[in-house]
Amino acid sequence: MERWKGRVALVTGASVGIGAAVARALVQQGMRVVGCARNVDKIEKLAAECQSAGYSGTLIPYKCDLSNEEEILSMFSAIKTLHKGVDVCINNAGLAHNEPLLSGRTEGWRNMIDVNVLALSICTREAYKSMKERNVDDGHIININSMGGHRVVPSADEHFYCATKYAVTALTEGIRQELREANTHIRATCISPGIVETEFAFRHHNSDPEKAASVYESMKCLKAEDIANAVTFVLSAPPHVQIGDVQMRPVEQVS
């Protein structure tokens, strides 16, 4: 990770869970991390904690609604002005709504597409532009995917969510191919966790907290820090090594 010290990373959805853990880990490794979310109160608190801990990097909170392209573009413009640009883009933000395919609301489907697919694609495009403008040839784009992007969970609550994550699997491979066509050494990776103990299930099953709690009580789940460790592992690989997809799940998880 030595070569990343002082470099700039963007982490989307950095206020809680995996995003917060990744932001903390990269700051600890000496990176300047722009952490974005719709609400930055928790990121500001995390930034203060990182500073108090004496980490060599810096966490910069940025308020951004990723379902709004104008806000994403404004964020990249601000990063260019204040920090020159993005060297590492961690597309972590994602959400799930309980909207089955046969009875779900279009609004919920659209919101999942906007955040899980379009925002990831827009951030990737803008991060690549930033790298090319500055002749950065060793940048990295990391998409936080899901095991739901590799098999369909037998639960109507999650079918549309799985479809968006299958899109992330395809997009990551498409990005890798386009980067090769562009003759660049910028890398693209997706990390696909199984069940991770975060606020995710409680947001997904917000009308049934007992159901949400049961998800995490059924086994020893992954922790957000496990995913953060996977991110640093991927970033620390030698520049000639392309890690395409890291699939990880709790030992006790069946599928």
Instruction: Give dist(CA 174, CA 121) in Å, integer.
Output: 11
Q: How far is CA 59 from the centre of its chain?
A: 16
pLDDT tens per residue across span 166-180:
999 999 999 999 999
The answer to whether residue 205 scores a pLDDT higher than 80 is: no
Question: What tokens appear for 149 in the block?
Answer: 């992007």
Distances in Å between the alpha carbon of 43 and those of 19, 151, 175? 10, 33, 29
At residue 95, φ and ψ (nearest 5 deg) are -150, 160
How many Cβ atoms are within 10 Å of 247's Cβ, its own excluded?
14
- What residues contact 106, with CB distance under 8 A and at least 6 apart? none
Helix (H) or strand (E) holding 71: helix 69-83
Positions marked active-site: 161
**Domains along the sequence of the chain with CATH:** 2-248 (3.40.50.720)
For 141, counting Cβ atoms within 10 Å of its Cβ (0-12 exposed, 13-18 middle, 19+ buried), the class is buried
CB 8 within 8 A of CB 34: yes
The answer to whether residue 215 scores a pLDDT higher than 80 is: no
pLDDT tens per residue across span 20-43:
999 999 999 999 999 999 999 999
Return the beta strands (E) in 145-184 as ranges: none
pTM of the shown model:
0.94
